[in-house]
Structure 1
Amino acid sequence: MEGDGSNDGNRPRFLCEGVIFEILTRVSSESLWPCRWVCKEWRKLTYESNFNHHHCERTQTLSGFFIQESFKCNYSSSFISIDHSPTIPKPSLNFLPEKVKIEASSSKGLLCCVNQEVIRHRCYYVCKPTTQQWRKIPNPKNRYFAVRMAMFVQSSNPLRYKIVRFSQPVKMIKNYLRCEIFDSSNWAWKRSGDIGLPPLVGLPPGPGVLINGIFHWLTSENLIFAFDINYETNRMIRLQQEEPDLNNDFRVHKILADCKGRLSVIYITDHRMEQWVMTKYSKELWKKKHSVNLEALKSEECSSVMEALYTAEVALMTSINKVIWYNFQKNKAVVDRVKHFLASEKAFSFQSDLVPCNMRTE
């Protein structure tokens, strides 16, 4: 869907804002998405931090990130959140039969992980940490090194999901990605078409941003690589033509993010942050959303890197061994320290209920 996400003709005007808040904070996560398309007010309300906090508490839902650390070539992960209810145990991956590295996460509470053994003993797992359920899936072709993986849950009941794996030869003859897709419906990997890339274009570390069934990665040449996992098609999207107003600061870090269901690019320097949102996806039209002073991130937090948006006004930022929740509307930062150094692919968005799912195939 495109447009502003509103439906003014069917707007329920007979309910006051307080009643709407009480109702929507009790709606399941799966039912919340269609509610956001009722009208602009509902859409704005359901992306606010205050709403997210109450929704997690009232629906017994976990919302946050799995943070991945690396120590002596071994990976460990932990769940972090600023909306975690004390009545819900924090999920971990200790229930899996061996130590794993997270490869991809989904919006429905599933993770795709791989064990930390050598390639010939490689095993892939799909799991739901909140219910400690897991299932081993067949291995893809491990001849080539995986550069990116992504996971898309099509439905929760019955459970249907797809995993895409992009790999490249060690010695590249052509600038292309080898694409494989795992489909839980037939419980097998299949080889999709190779994807040609423009010269010098590469995919930096980080999970893809999922918008309307399409994964997006910001490339090294200021293009956005978009892959539709259902139709197995891809395209390159250009960033906005207008240059960001960051006072000619050459140290600009860029990330992609999901901003209220729309693709967003965020530019960050040591002093300012500027956010642009794609308002018309098919026409690649961008609009500047806001520019923020980053005064609260001075001193020891000045070297932090933004990883993702948690809510519309709260960002997740990291440094070598710290995780920072930064509210750029209130200009306030909350710092959590981690035990080891953070891995290159360090932050995986995670949202899940506590309902067991059917991990078996039919």
Structure 2
Amino acid sequence: MRRGWMNIKQFAPSPESNTLDLGFLPYNAQILATSEQGIMVFKIQDPMNCRRYSYHVCKPTTKQVLALPRPKGNHTDQKFAIVVMGLKPLHYKIIRFSECRALRRWRKFHMAYRCEIFDSMTWKWRSLKHVALGDCVFLTNPQPVTKSGAIYMLLTNNNILKFDADSEIWEVFSSPIPYDESRTPTELVKYGGKLGLACKPSNANGYWDIWVSKKDKLWEKEADVAVESNSERERLKALYDPHTSVMVDCETLLFYRLKQQDNNMISKIVLNDIPYQIFSFRSDFEPSDLK
């Protein structure tokens, strides 16, 4: 089992895992999405046309790579996610959100994202209805969180966009963190298998609060959990498990115990450069039929 984090093409192992060699990937490969079942999606830029890319699905632990059909149009990628629908046989869907455009409605501008979905069973891309958000609301930079066949994405107004890969229906619902112009640091996470939201209040003195989504989109604050950061520069990226947090400080990845102790750091990994995207990854070593 390999479990860790990828920064474009560098693998950072978790405390109980070994490293994974990604050197077999093309030098200009850009990772777009990963799944907890060991499947990854990446793209390669066409050297003759900077707006043209080829897309690939891959299982890094077995070095299996398969080219995907190219989506229609040269739209700018905004967000990718992969959802594994079944394992025997392997069935997955890839969701792509691309460049947005403004839709004028009642003197307000609503941002709409082009949405396409790739199904491994049909081996084709399909275009869905545009995802139209509120007035001047956008998708944020962090990667989507996948849970129970759905992907969740944080919006700039702190609401959450949910896309169900099975029904292919999307909806927006509220988070427990009200929007403020100061942009309180907020991250979508998974906590104990549930959708969670971590925020760092301005008076928190280095601590992040954890909220967990319960039934019917009701949120509860985890009273006994506070994620500690030892530096103002450290940014929470994920919860490795209910007891361990993953922080980023410039080019350093840090694992901390959630419960405060005399020495709560578990491990520290120095990356090749400052990451602007990090993908969680877990996999076995069994070959998979990607098509």
- Whether the TM-score (by the shorter chain) exceeds 0.5 is yes
Q: What is the CA–CA distance in structure 1 between the aligned matches of 2:55 and 2:80, rounded to whole Å? A: 12
Residue 356 in structure 1 maps to residue 290 in structure 2: no
- The code of the aligned residue for 2:196 comes to S
Q: What is the CA–CA distance in structure 2 between the aligned matches of 1:190 and 1:226, rounded to whole Å? A: 19
Name the SS of the counterpart of 1:125 in structure 2: strand
**What is the aligned counterpart of 2:198 among 266, 274, 277?**
266
- Displacement, 1:302? 2.4
Corresponding residue for residue 67 of structure 1: 7
- Displacement, 1:121? 4.3
Percent identical among aligned pairs is 27
Corresponding residue for residue 107 of structure 2: none
**Counterparts of residues 168-317 of structure 1 (less than 5 Å):** 168-169=99-100, 172-173=102-103, 174-240=110-176, 252-269=184-201, 270-280=205-215, 283-290=216-223, 291-292=225-226, 294=228, 297-298=229-230, 301-317=231-247
Which runs of 5 or more residues in structure 2 are unaligned?
A: 104-109
Deviating beyond 6 angstroms after TM superposition, the runs of 4 or more aligned structure 1 residues are: none
- Give me the CA root mean square deviation: 2.2
- Displacement, 1:329? 1.0
Asked whether the equivalents of residues 4 and 11 of structure 2 are also in contact (C-alpha less than 8 Å), the reply is no
- Displacement, 1:342? 1.3
Count residues with an aligned counterpart.
275
Q: What is the CA–CA distance in structure 1 between the aligned matches of 2:174 and 2:226, rounded to whole Å? A: 24
> Which has a greater percent of strand?
2
Q: What is the CA–CA distance in structure 1 between the aligned matches of 2:22 and 2:289, rounded to whole Å? A: 18
Name the SS of the counterpart of 1:161 in structure 2: strand
Corresponding residue for residue 28 of structure 1: none
Q: What is the CA–CA distance in structure 1 between the aligned matches of 2:74 and 2:270, rounded to whole Å? A: 37
Residues 279 and 293 of structure 1: is their aligned pair in 2 closer, same or farther, counting only changes over 3 Å?
closer
Name the SS of the counterpart of 1:264 in structure 2: strand
Larger radius of gyration, structure 1 or 2?
A: 1
Cα offsets for 1:156-207 (capped at 9, x unmatched): 23221110000124x6455111100011111111111111111121111122
Cα offsets for 1:264-300 (capped at 9, x unmatched): 11112552211111111xx221111135273xx33xx
Corresponding residue for residue 148 of structure 1: 79
Asked whether the equivalents of residues 115 and 128 of structure 2 are also in contact (C-alpha less than 8 Å), the reply is yes
Corresponding residue for residue 39 of structure 2: 110
Which runs of 5 or more residues in structure 1 are unaligned?
A: 1-60, 69-75
Q: What is the CA–CA distance in structure 2 between the aligned matches of 1:62 and 1:130, rounded to whole Å? A: 8
> Which has a greater percent of helix?
1
Q: What is the CA–CA distance in structure 2 between the aligned matches of 1:255 and 1:223, rounded to whole Å? A: 12
- Displacement, 1:318? 0.8
Q: What is the CA–CA distance in structure 2 between the aligned matches of 1:142 and 1:166, rounded to whole Å? A: 13
**What is the aligned counterpart of 1:137 among 47, 50, 68?**
68
Q: What is the CA–CA distance in structure 2 between the aligned matches of 1:261 and 1:190, rounded to whole Å? A: 30
Asked whether the equivalents of residues 224 and 236 of structure 1 are also in contact (C-alpha less than 8 Å), the reply is yes
Q: What is the CA–CA distance in structure 2 between the aligned matches of 1:154 and 1:119, rounded to whole Å? A: 33
